[in-house]
Structure 1
């Protein structure tokens, strides 16, 4: 019999989002997520299936309210830099987010992309 979840999914998502935003998708390991969330590796896989699925949840949530936080803009930036070129589902999500927003948003996103590239 499986034990019931003993964590708040929303809290785990917030902690994981901060790690992805700071380190990028490729720079984030499952061990990083374990440390940040306080969950065991098996709990992360059981709850979310994979690192990619956990990131997809971040991107979907960011798409709904990206304007509210800089971290959400960073998640979109990470998706574009690390995944969109080779992951069709993520590329389509990014295109939809950018397409639904104004030219001023695209300008902000472009500046964020350039800043992140300079960090690497």
Structure 2
């Protein structure tokens, strides 16, 4: 009989999602995961198979627990301006992992592309609830990118 698992898998996946959302897939090494998550390398590989396996688990967790609730909020926003305010606010950080997955991993990983496409469809559906002709999801994601860039910008003198 093996030793009982010394970590909470759900917590590790949640923490990995936050790490990938802040630094992207290529910006996170296995050493970073081991250090940040407090999980032994062997345990990480035994549980998730690989860095990519953990990434997919984190992406799926994130879509279920962050993007879908945000999409519900977007659907209740009343209009596109209200939805835009949501993604420009702290709640909009819920789209950061999706944006990174869309530009970094989806072009090279069909499973990630499928998950990203499903998430974008959920957002499109939510936007359809706030406008007869919803603006493209790309406009909403563009607003989030701008807000994220402005967070990192140094103030002009």
TM-score interval, normalised by the smaller of the two chains = 0.7 to 0.9
Q: Specify the alignment match of 2:144 in structure 1.
A: 112
Q: Does 1:49 align with 2:52?
A: no
Count of residues in Structure 1 that have an aligned counterpart in Structure 2: 119
- Shift in Å, 1:9: 1.1
The whole-number CA distance in structure 1 between the counterparts of 2:103 and 2:149 is 8
* TM-score after normalising by structure 2: 0.65
Task: Assess, with a 3 A threshold, how the Cα gap between structure 1 residues 104 and 45 changes in structure 2: closer, same or farther.
Answer: farther
| Deviation string, structure 1 residues 58-91 (Cα, Å, up to 9, x no partner) | 2212222312855542221121121111111111
Alignment RMSD (CA, Å)? 2.5
Q: Bigger radius of gyration, 1 or 2?
A: 2
C-alpha separation in 2, matches of 1:33 and 1:104: 38
Q: For 2:149 and 2:104, locate their aligned partners in 1 and report how far apart those are by CA, in whole Å.
A: 11
Q: Which residues of structure 2 form unaligned runs of 5+?
A: 74-90, 128-133, 153-157
Preserved contact between residue 34 and residue 40 of structure 1 (Cα < 8 Å): yes
Q: Note the C-alpha offset of 1:115.
A: 5.9
